Amino acid sequence: MPEVRLVNVTKRYGKIVANDNVSFTIKDGEYVSIIGPSGCGKTTLIKNIAGIIKPDGGEIYIGGQLVTDLPIEDRGIGYVFQNIALFPHMTVWGNVTYGPRVRGWSLEETRPLAIEMLEMIKLGARSEAYPSELSGGTQQKTAVARALVSRAELLLLDEPLGALDVKVRTELRHELRRLVKDLKLTALHVTHDQEEAMSISDRVIVMKRGRIVEAGAPMDLYSQPMNIFTANFVGEANFLTGTITQISDEGALVEIGDSLQLMINSRDKRIGDRVVIAFRPEFASIGDSRIMNRLPGNLMDILYSGRIIRLKVKLANGDPIVVKKVLSFERPTFTIGDKLTITISPKNILVYNYPENLNTELALE
């Protein structure tokens, strides 16, 4: 029922265009996240959909109905903010049943809904607790229950996990997605955390400077991003620049600096084209003899994070790149200063036309 459709939505703040002709559709039952650097317009967009602000241009449809001029309470949505906004003087039960109460629903009507919601979030036993007695994560779950108790079918989440500890945040991702899927809701989730968006959503929309840069399933966005900004924003990536010097049946040869060469699969390039190539640090390997793409370099630093290590390597042309590996019980035998050969298979190399301004493309803010 609650398909969401935006047509050319525009919102300006003075000279700044926060949303610039944004159009997209969220299918019924879909979990969609919007990510982008701060100031990209993602929060403005979700507020437009909620009816908290009104767009300067364009239309918003929810479930096929034009809602651009409808107030928030008539849009059939549940809205959850980053700053947990529970009523401190009300119990969990009081908070969750607040919406139906002010709408004048009877207790008989409200009770089963509230009980069901509290069961869904496994808080049935804490219904008499006050917010101050609950952890941040539990408070935010209560806020979600409150947003949904009035039978809202569209859940709008504005950085819902942003105020929580990382560990709690990671665990609540699973619960939030499960809740949305079990209740067959449609969800739109705004976050600055690309990892959160990837793990929770069916589809991710990437925004920058008020516009949609790209949208797709998480794995596609990560593996085959269509542009440099997305490649950089949705995960760690190594970027190198070079020029196409040879084209053959196997692919094209990119010359990087004076001394490095890489084979790429891309066939639509021409000799002399300037390109940016990118690869994910986990797809690079050290001295894999089966791979012909070889980049000599020096180990500059080793960054350790649990079982994951990142090797920072300075290539022969001076560019730094990162190689990411999992160490199980063996310890690495590298030493800083070691000469290493980085290998990367052509199929794992992304290729882009050299942009007007590479720094702007790579800027995260």
Partner 1 sequence: MPLLEFSREGDAATSLIRLVNVTKKFGDINALDHINLSIDDGEYLCILGQTGAGKTTLLRIIAGLLEPDEGEIYIDGKVVNGIPPEKRNAVYMFQQFALFPHMDVWRNVSFGPVIQDWDEDRIKNVTFEILEMVRLAERRDAFPNELSGGMQQRVALARGIASGARILLLDEPLGALDARLRVDLRTQLRKLVKDQGLTAVHVTHDQEESLMIADRVVVLRNGRIEQIGTPHEVYSKPQSIFVTSFVGGASFIEGTVAKVDDSGSIIEIRGGLRTCVSDRSKKNGEKVVIAIRLEDVSVGTTSKDGANNFPGVVETAMFIGGSIEYEVRLENDVLASSRILLSDAFRAYKAGERVVISFHPENCYLFSYPKVGLLKEIEAI
**Tokens, residue 167:** 């560990």
Q: How far apart are CA 129 and CA 92, in angstroms?
A: 6
Neighbour count for residue 329 (Cβ, 10 Å): 5
| Binder of partner 1 out of 111, 192, 209, 211 (CB under 8 A) | 192
Residue 111 or 209 having the CB closest to partner 1 = 209
Q: What are phi and psi of 315, to 5 degrees?
A: -75, 165
**Tokens, residue 122:** 């496994």
For tokens 């979600």, name the residue.
144
Radius of gyration of the chain (CA): 25
Q: Whole-number minimum distance, CB 91 to partner 1, in Å?
A: 19
Residue 104 or 329 having the CB closest to partner 1 = 329
> What is the SS3 assignment for 352?
strand
| Binder of partner 1 out of 39, 58, 94, 296 (CB under 8 A) | 39
Window 46-85: residues binding partner 1 (CB under 8 A): none
Give the type of residue at 139.
Answer: Q
Window 201-240: residues binding partner 1 (CB under 8 A): 218-219, 222-223, 233-236
Task: Give 287's contacts (C-beta < 8 A, 6+ positions apart).
Answer: 340, 341, 343
Contact map string, positions 250 to 279, toward partner 1, x by CB under 8 A:
------------------------------
Task: Find the length of the chain.
Answer: 365
264 within 8 A of 254, measured Cβ to Cβ: yes
7 within 8 A of 1, measured Cβ to Cβ: no
DSSP string, 38-70: TTSSHHHHHHHHHTSS--SEEEEEETTEE-TTS
Residue 111 or 325 having the CB closest to partner 1 = 325
| Binder of partner 1 out of 1, 308, 353, 360 (CB under 8 A) | 308
Q: Whole-number minimum distance, CB 345 to partner 1, in Å?
A: 10
Residue 93 or 233 having the CB closest to partner 1 = 233
Buried b / exposed e over 167-185, threshold 16 CB at 10 Å, is ebbeebbeebbebbeebeb
| Binder of partner 1 out of 29, 348, 354, 355 (CB under 8 A) | 348
Site membership for partner 1, residue 303 (CB under 8 A): yes
| Binder of partner 1 out of 54, 89, 101, 174 (CB under 8 A) | 174
Window 277-296: residues binding partner 1 (CB under 8 A): 280-283, 285
Residue 77 or 190 having the CB closest to partner 1 = 190
Site membership for partner 1, residue 339 (CB under 8 A): no
How many residues bind to partner 1 according to rule CB under 8 A?
Answer: 57
Distances in Å between the Cα of 12 and the Cα atoms of 25, 134, 208, 256, 305 are 22, 39, 15, 42, 42
CB-count exposure of residue 99 (10 Å: 0-12, 13-18, 19+): buried
Window 93-152: residues binding partner 1 (CB under 8 A): 135-138, 141
Site membership for partner 1, residue 167 (CB under 8 A): yes
| Binder of partner 1 out of 20, 116, 195, 255 (CB under 8 A) | 195
| Binder of partner 1 out of 166, 289, 356, 357 (CB under 8 A) | 166
- The binding site for partner 1 (CB under 8 A) comprises 37-39, 135-138, 141, 165-168, 171-172, 174, 192-196, 198-199, 218-219, 222-223, 233-236, 280-283, 285, 301-308, 324-326, 328-329, 331-336, 348, 364-365
